[in-house]
């Protein structure tokens, strides 16, 4: 999904919801297609400031002091800002009505009808989806730092082995750091979960339940309650 609209994303979320509600009805081909679509949408949304087009409402008020500009996502929100300006100057137009009891559209219409020296213009326009500025998508995400004590020495040896191999030969694409390992915990192939040791799986579940997509295992980091701790 390279050109995601809000409607496209809503459809994708509906597909994902149905798959979660009825996992037994999802055949392998459809599961793979859904995972691919989710990954594509995730990449696009994370890599673009505005992943889909956005309609905005704009207003300009020209008075003796210059121009005031207003922007909002809806017409009512825009007119609420314009009406706030009108209420501040309401006493200048000689209207006996209480501006606090009048609708925002009525306030604006009455005010500018009696102020020929001021002018209100409104319009709406569409902001197009913005592509990545550098022409490619930078990966972004949330990560937590956990102590390497949450991993056994055998799991640590396994991570070192994976770091020295091609990513396609490992269940996870691990990156080594000076103090430990950087482990992605999103989009893990279910078929490869059986290759992960229990202590690593526990840490992955811990991170995913809290909304993270990477774990940095650091020998100087603290430990978290609820995870096993090993003595090295």
Q: Which of 45-59, 64-78, 162-176, 210-224 has the highest mean pLDDT?
A: 64-78
Q: Calculate mean pLDDT across residues 37-52.
A: 77
Please write the tens of the pLDDT for every residue from 53-99. Answer: 788 999 999 988 889 999 999 999 999 999 999 999 999 999 999 99
The reported pLDDT for the residue numbered 2 is 45
Lowest mean pLDDT among 135-149, 165-179, 195-209: 135-149
Beta strands per DSSP E along the chain = 54-63, 66-72, 119-127, 143-147, 175-176, 180-184, 214-218
- In this structure, is the dihedral angle defined by the CA atoms of residues 153, 159, 163 and 164, taken in order, positive or negative? positive
Q: Which two tokens stand for residue 206?
A: 């811990």
Residue 145 covered by a domain: yes
Confidence band for 132, pLDDT divided at 50, 70 and 90: low
Residue 188 covered by a domain: yes
Residue 136 covered by a domain: no
Q: Which two tokens stand for residue 121?
A: 């213009």
61 with 44, same domain: the answer is no
More confident residue, 38 or 113: 113
70 contacts 58 by C-beta, under 8 angstroms: yes
Residue 132 covered by a domain: no
Confidence band for 134, pLDDT divided at 50, 70 and 90: low
19 with 85, same domain: the answer is no
Q: What total of structural domains would you count in the chain?
A: 3
On the question of pLDDT at 167 being above 80, the answer is no
107 with 169, same domain: the answer is no
162-166: Cβ within 8 A, 24+ apart: none
59 contacts 121 by C-beta, under 8 angstroms: yes
Full-model pTM: 0.49
58 with 42, same domain: the answer is no
Lowest mean pLDDT among 85-89, 189-193, 220-224: 189-193
Label the pairing between strands 214-218 and 180-184. Answer: antiparallel
The reported pLDDT for the residue numbered 159 is 92
Confidence band for 1, pLDDT divided at 50, 70 and 90: very low
More confident residue, 220 or 138: 220
Residue 135 covered by a domain: no
């Amino acid at each position: 999904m390279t050109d995601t609209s809000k409607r496209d994303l809503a459809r994708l979320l509906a597909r994902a919801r149905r798959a979660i509600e009825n996992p037994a009805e999802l055949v392998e081909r459809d599961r793979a297609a859904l995972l691919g679509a989710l990954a594509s949408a995730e990449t696009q949304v994370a890599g673009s400031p505005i992943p889909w087009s956005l309609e905005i409402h704009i207003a300009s008020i020209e008075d003796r002091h210059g121009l005031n500009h207003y922007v909002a996502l809806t017409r009512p929100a825009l007119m609420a800002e314009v009406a706030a300006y009108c209420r501040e100057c309401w006493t200048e137009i000689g209207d006996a009505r209480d501006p606090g009891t009048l609708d925002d559209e009525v306030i604006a219409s009455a005010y500018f009808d009696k102020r020929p020296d001021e002018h209100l213009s409104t319009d709406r326009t569409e902001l197009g989806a913005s592509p990545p500025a550098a022409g490619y998508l930078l990966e972004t995400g949330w990560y937590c730092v956990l102590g390497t004590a949450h991993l056994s020495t055998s799991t640590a040896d396994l991570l070192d082995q994976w770091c020295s191999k091609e990513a396609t030969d490992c269940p996870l694409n691990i990156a080594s750091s000076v103090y430990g390992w950087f482990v992605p915990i999103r989009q893990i192939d279910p078929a490869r979960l059986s290759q992960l040791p229990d202590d690593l799986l526990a840490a992955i579940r811990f991170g995913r339940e809290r909304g993270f997509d990477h774990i940095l295992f650091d020998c100087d980091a603290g430990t978290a309650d609820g995870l096993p701790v090993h003595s090295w």
